[in-house]
Structure 1
Amino acid sequence: MYKTIYIPVDNSDHSNTAVDVGVHLAKTFGSRIVGSHVYAAKMHDKRFKQMEAGLPEEYHDEKELDRQRQIHDSLITRGLQIITDSYLDYVDKKCNEANLPVERRSLEGRNWKVLAEDINTNGYDLVIMGALGVGAVKDSVIGSNTERVVRRVRNSDMLIIKNVQPITGGKIVVAVDGSPYSFGGLMTGLALGKAFNMPVEAISAFDPYFHYAAFHSISGVLNEEAGKVFRFKEQEKLHEEIIDSGLAKIYQSHLDISREIAQAEQTDVKTTLLDGKAFEKIIQYVRKDVPALLIIGRIGVHSDEDMDVGSNTENLLRSAPCNVLISNRKYVPPIDTQAEYTIAWTEEALRRMEKIPVFARGVAKTAIHRYAIEKGHTIISNTVVDTAIGHILPKGAMDAMRALGGSLDAAGIDRDKMQADEGVTKDLMGPTLSGIMTQIVEEKPKEISASTQAYLDRMGQTYFVCDGCGYIGKGDSPVKCPVCSADGTKFKQVDKKIFEVAATTEGELETDVAYDDVPMQWTKDAKEAIRAVPAGFQRRRAKARIEKSARKLGMTTITLEYAAPTIQEAASEDYTPIFSNKGTGTSPVAEATVAASNGNEANGHIEAASPYTWTDDAQARLDRAPEGFMRDCTRSLILKHAEKIGATLITIEVADEGIEQAKGYMAEAMKTGNLKDMIADLTGKGRG
């Protein structure tokens, strides 16, 4: 689980225990240990200079002062290095005894700053630090270096040693609040529990009393008229009858999901729901029966992503009587797992779902769950189902589905026993890679179909982007992200007007038709700019990235302002062409493909370097294939056939024969899934 374990040491009791714990974990998980110590030579030098004025008068002589400075510099620098080596020798000794690999890091600078930089730069999986250092006194709670490092580390789990006894037994308690960090901590706790045979408990706390206290405080400052407007009685009744029980259901659902996750990991957890101030109730719980380890997320469900440490985590780090692991690992439970415990269905909606054939029911429910979580629904009614399906299916599809359902009912067909035949499977596979490859040799329709127009109409909706994970919602403003569970405030509305205005200043528009017949318009400036990306694979990939990201945001016009970041990134990429070793042993097909990928074409015809000559009819047939990868592959298919029959003049007949043979060849390749060999044969490049 942990490949690298980082242990800052200072020879304190807590630090030495951290080394022992690190060795114990490393032996179990096969980890590499990195021991480090930071010494502050420059700080001592600065302090000595500040004290020079207070030295006895005999030391004020310039020569004597210079001599004392040299002595101090030598003693401090060399002395601190010796101390550092001694601290790291302890790590070496423990690792050698356990036959573990170890790396020593001797660093200079401000302790917390250098440690945080080293951890964030190298991305260690786990950091183990003592809660207190050599400067601890009776009333010390948490060391300043430890606290500052915890606040600045973003990707590594932080295990803070608060007990100097080794972790050899006891239980693991995980605090869960529904955030990805808390569920990530649960996954870590389950792995540790299985590895060390320790029971794992999941606890969750909610506060149903806050509103009562807040209302009580507010009522003391409102005048009679304002009190009537606020309607305290109705507010309190609302909380007592709905909100308080709703909070309990939400936090209980976090525990139910935790148990589901544990069972999926072939284990189980005890769960406990607590009511009251979260950190206070958790502290009381772990003080009553002190665990070996308390695991908490760095930030909670209500925190912003740029928060350093959540308030509950900070309080627990200071006050917990046990070792604390602060999780920087994220885990988002599957949509259906979340929905099972956080979303309820009305009876009418459930009966409606039963009308869907069993082989498609799971997909449909997942899509509706995703929509419900995104929009903040906790009860799925017929109205929610209708709205969700309206977002998923093109206009008119629902009526067609109802008509189909009526036909099935009239025929007495049991939908729970329906199975998809090969024809349906083939249709479903159309948009996948195999479907796209088949389209290489098919002519694209030039008119916009009704389904494409419906797709374009749907793109006119308002789009929102989640700051947390990049999920894109459309329609009404989302209240919750179905992927990372961020609340609606994390979503930002996409302002398409910025790019629409830019389009009017960037020259005339050119229209390209995408592989699924959706027309994409490029401004003249954007079209010119993408030529900065090397032709062939790199340019096609950059173009695809730009168009795909734009379509996800509901845009069909590509401006230079929008495309510039992707173009700049792609233009600076180093790329070695697949056919860089062309020459000896390369087939004519590969030579032709190389020429095409290097842009060695004139007016769509292969240059004279190719042994093949194309007639106008054959060239026109080739030009039907979409420009780029598909056309290059089509050319390779035709040339492969020409090479096989010994023809050097590519006529329309040769082209059609090559394409027809390729259809059967690709169909067979897609059945077996052996695409690697298929591509190798198409290009003439030998299998690796």
Structure 2
Amino acid sequence: MYKTIYVPVDNSDYSNQAITSAVELGRKFDSTMVGCHVYAASMHDYRFKQMEYTLPDEYLEETELDRQRKIHDSLITMGLELISESYLEPMKAVCDDAGLEFEPKMMDGKHHVEIVRDIRESGYDLTVLGVMGIGRVRDTQIGSVCERVARTADRDVLVIKRLPAKAGAANGNGNGHQAEAETDGRDTILVGVDGSPQSFGALMTAIDLAKTFGKKVEAISVYDPYLHYSVFKGVVNVLTERAAKIFRFEEQNQLHEEIIDTGLAQIYQSHLDVAETMATEVGVELTKTLLDGKAFQKVLDHARKMDPWMLVIGRVGVHSDDSESGLGSNAENLLRACPCDLLLTTRLEYPELDVKAEESIRWTPEAEERFKRVPEQVRGIARTALYRLAVEQGH
């Protein structure tokens, strides 16, 4: 599954835990482990030149200044390389103990730029990194390197957010804050499902991990029937009489209340049912949870309540355009706020039922015309639901 695992290190608590978690994965998948440290010698050189004017007068003579520059460059480069080797040595020792092949890498440059470039050029299957590094302070939610790598990497990224419990700490996140979990879900992988190929890819990744590590799988799906109420409430007071007639406000509002809100629950339940079928086909029992509200908030609340071993989600979801890069809004929010380790996946999976329906069902001109009455932002969801209903009824 993960043949090469990449771990950027900086000797921080979260980085060290990333090494431990990565090697645990590596043992199961017999992975090649790559450790990386990026040092910024060029940045130090730039800063030294900026500060040259502050040197004592005897060092400002051009010949002496040139000598100092060479000494500084040599010491900084050699020193940072030695530090990098020291940071990578613990990972090498752990990999040796686990019988895993280890490759060290040291690079000079901007941290996230070099890491993302290396990921793209080397094609690692998985990157494991701590949510924050040595620059963390009390109110840090996510480190700049982690945030930028998670946003821009084009491969799976596992963000380590949980530290081993320390003496006197109330939970396992290493910060001593009071635990919020109401139940112990450490034997469960929680996976977000919204009907997109990305979410079904996340599901299959979660299933593979569950079978490898002996975990349970819970799929969570969230629909939002409340959004249009806020939209219509804001629109009703600004529409002119002519605009109201064209928009057909009352009809649109009634359409949402009578059809879309009720249908959304059924559609997202069908996503969970399809997920259950996919899990059953590979011999995994799936727990299903359907909630209503803002997607990331409900997933976050549920994760805090159950405290899963890991949360697995696709980088983007059902409302994302094919041309979009980066993270979807729900993934972005969960990256910052999720209390457990978070796996952002790139795998795409197309359920057999959806593929069969799209290939075998043809729309009449009348059906296409009526379908245009469905608001554009939910047409993809509605089309999938109709396909599934047609197949289930034998069409």
User: Normalising to structure 1: TM-score of the pair?
Assistant: 0.49
Task: For 2:157, give the aligned amino acid.
Answer: M
For the 8 Å contact 1:257–1:338, the answer to whether it is kept is no
Describe the SS at the equivalent of 1:316: helix
The Cα of 1:29 is off from its aligned counterpart by 1.3
Give the corresponding residue for 2:12: 12
CA distance in 2, matches of 1:208, 1:109: 47
The Cα of 1:229 is off from its aligned counterpart by 4.5
Give the corresponding residue for 2:161: 162
* CA displacement, residues 408-448 of structure 1 (integer Å, 9 cap, x when unaligned): xxxxxxxxxxxxxxxxxxxxxxxxxxxxxxxxxxxxxxxxx
Q: How many residues matched?
A: 351
Describe the SS at the equivalent of 1:242: helix
2:129 equivalent to 1:139: no
Give the corresponding residue for 2:148: 148
For the 8 Å contact 1:84–1:106, the answer to whether it is kept is yes
Give the corresponding residue for 1:578: none
Select which of 226, 237, 250 maps to 1:209: 226
Select which of 315, 320, 324 maps to 1:298: 315
2:359 equivalent to 1:370: yes
Give the corresponding residue for 2:254: 237
CA distance in 2, matches of 1:188, 1:26: 15
The Cα of 1:62 is off from its aligned counterpart by 2.0
Give the corresponding residue for 1:259: 276
Q: 1:369–1:109: structure 2 CA closer, same or farther, 3 Å change rule?
A: closer
The Cα of 1:338 is off from its aligned counterpart by 2.9
CA distance in 2, matches of 1:97, 1:169: 26
2:303 equivalent to 1:314: no
2:285 equivalent to 1:286: no
Give the corresponding residue for 2:210: 193
The Cα of 1:228 is off from its aligned counterpart by 4.6
Select which of 354, 363, 373 maps to 1:338: 354
The Cα of 1:231 is off from its aligned counterpart by 3.9
2:236 equivalent to 1:219: yes
For the 8 Å contact 2:186–2:307, the answer to whether it is kept is no
2:105 equivalent to 1:89: no
For the 8 Å contact 2:191–2:313, the answer to whether it is kept is yes
Taking the TM superposition and a 5 Å limit, the aligned residue runs for 1:662-677 are none
For the 8 Å contact 2:133–2:143, the answer to whether it is kept is yes
Task: For 2:159, give the aligned amino acid.
Answer: I
CA distance in 1, matches of 2:333, 2:125: 24
Describe the SS at the equivalent of 1:177: coil
Task: For 2:76, give the aligned amino acid.
Answer: I
Give the corresponding residue for 1:628: none
* CA displacement, residues 3-22 of structure 1 (integer Å, 9 cap, x when unaligned): 11111111111110010001
CA distance in 1, matches of 2:272, 2:201: 14
Describe the SS at the equivalent of 2:275: helix
The Cα of 1:240 is off from its aligned counterpart by 1.3
CA distance in 2, matches of 1:310, 1:151: 9
CA distance in 2, matches of 1:55, 1:301: 59
2:61 equivalent to 1:61: yes
CA distance in 2, matches of 1:49, 1:29: 48
Give the corresponding residue for 1:559: none
CA distance in 1, matches of 2:331, 2:380: 23
CA distance in 2, matches of 1:55, 1:253: 70
Q: How much identity, in percent, do the aligned residues show?
A: 50
CA distance in 1, matches of 2:191, 2:164: 20
CA distance in 2, matches of 1:318, 1:273: 23
For the 8 Å contact 2:130–2:159, the answer to whether it is kept is yes
Task: For 1:276, give the aligned amino acid.
Answer: G
The Cα of 1:253 is off from its aligned counterpart by 1.1
The Cα of 1:224 is off from its aligned counterpart by 4.2
CA distance in 1, matches of 2:205, 2:164: 21
CA distance in 1, matches of 2:54, 2:237: 60
CA distance in 1, matches of 2:69, 2:345: 46
- Runs of 4+ with deviation above 6 angstroms: none
CA distance in 1, matches of 2:235, 2:164: 48
The Cα of 1:54 is off from its aligned counterpart by 2.1
For the 8 Å contact 1:9–1:15, the answer to whether it is kept is yes
CA distance in 2, matches of 1:268, 1:229: 50
Taking the TM superposition and a 5 Å limit, the aligned residue runs for 1:414-493 are none
* CA displacement, residues 124-180 of structure 1 (integer Å, 9 cap, x when unaligned): 1111011101011111111111111122211x2100001112999432100011111
CA distance in 2, matches of 1:480, 1:198: 33
Describe the SS at the equivalent of 1:267: coil
Give structure 1 stretches of 5+ with no counterpart: 340-365, 378-382, 385-478, 486-688
Give the corresponding residue for 2:175: none
Describe the SS at the equivalent of 2:51: helix
CA distance in 2, matches of 1:233, 1:306: 35
CA distance in 2, matches of 1:102, 1:191: 24
Give the corresponding residue for 1:400: none
2:325 equivalent to 1:326: no
For the 8 Å contact 1:183–1:332, the answer to whether it is kept is yes
Task: For 1:217, give the aligned amino acid.
Answer: G
Give the corresponding residue for 1:32: 32
User: Normalising to structure 2: TM-score of the pair?
Assistant: 0.84
CA distance in 2, matches of 1:242, 1:371: 26
Give the corresponding residue for 1:248: 265
Max radius of gyration: which structure?
1
Task: For 1:190, give the aligned amino acid.
Answer: I
Describe the SS at the equivalent of 1:158: strand
Q: 1:369–1:148: structure 2 CA closer, same or farther, 3 Å change rule?
A: closer
CA distance in 1, matches of 2:245, 2:233: 14
The Cα of 1:305 is off from its aligned counterpart by 2.7
Describe the SS at the equivalent of 2:200: helix
Task: For 1:160, give the aligned amino acid.
Answer: V
For the 8 Å contact 1:5–1:126, the answer to whether it is kept is yes
CA distance in 2, matches of 1:181, 1:27: 27
Q: Tell which has more relative contact order, 1 or 2 (C-alpha 8 A, sep 6+).
A: 2
The Cα of 1:220 is off from its aligned counterpart by 1.5
For the 8 Å contact 1:205–1:273, the answer to whether it is kept is yes
Give the corresponding residue for 1:412: none
